[in-house]
Amino acid sequence: MSLPRIGVFDSGVGGLTVLRAMSAQFPAHYFYFGDTARLPYGTKSAETVARYASGAARFLESQNIDLLVIACNSATALALPQIQQAVKVPVVGVVEPGAATASAISSSRSAVVIATEATVSSHAYREALNRYGMAAHEMACPLLVPLVEEGWIDHPVTEQVARIYLGEAFAAASDQADVLVLACTHYPLLAPLLRRITPEHVAIVDSAESTSQAVRQLLQDSECHPERSEDTLATERSRRPPLDPSIPPTDHRTFRFFVTDSTDKFKRLATRFLGRQVDHVEHVDLGG
């Protein structure tokens, strides 16, 4: 059976933590699209985010992907239904998997969620956790993303900022929260630091890792219950655009990267987020 072709979309580089988690768990042909010319999505209206994200989703679908992962909390929170309507392939966002994992491990049925201001304002995680019968206290942590992108992963300043945020969040939680949900795809890079300063009884849920597990399960389910004949699949494969020969496979994993702004800046940040050298990035222009 041929490897799945998985599209991964984010407004920038944070979604690379989702790609990193997936590529560590299972082989696939991965197509990553970062809408770097139009970030951040968090300051834009839901209508604008839906338009941008739907255009990116259609671009990835043109690469004949089997599955689309919205590795962007803002896009998932603000525009997941519109994205699902824009493409014909299955779509997985980052919110539901994170909430499901938190519910599975929580005893107190209470969680603290840290995220960007846009994700907190959408209350997407709170609503998702509420559906699982959990209470959620959301905390916006706007300083963490620029600190991560600056490379200050284990810097004393970053630790002090995180201590202030988490101190306020757990103090404000209405009851004894026993789960911390990292609801921003930049935050997994801070996981070791956050583990040091989070109360010992609190489990940490990485939404990137949770999303990877959800995608893996979806792929396994589709193998067990195929909906298309082998002849249909063979025809689809013959029509697929070729993989880029300049990017060598890594243990049966291949990667293509697309961005809408500077490829050089993306390469610098991508190596940090993905944990491997990124040498080849393609620029695309989706227009307005």
Cβ pair 164, 146 in contact under 8 A:
no
- The rounded distance, in Å, linking the Cα atoms of 117 and 238 is 44
CA distance to 152, 157, 192, per residue, from 147 (Å): 5, 9, 15
Verify whether residue 72 is a known catalytic residue: yes
CA 10 to chain CA centroid, Å, is 7
Q: Among residues 184, 219, 269, 270, which one is catalytic?
A: 184
The vertex-218 CA angle with 274 and 177, nearest 5°, equals 70
Are 65 and 92 a contacting pair, CB within 8 Å? no
Among residues 72, 102, 115, 259, the one annotated as catalytic is 72
Secondary structure of residue 42 in the 3-state scheme: helix
Amino acid 103 reads S
In which region does residue 27 sit, left (phi positive, over 0), alpha (psi from -120 to 50) or beta (all else)? beta
Residues classed as catalytic: 72, 184
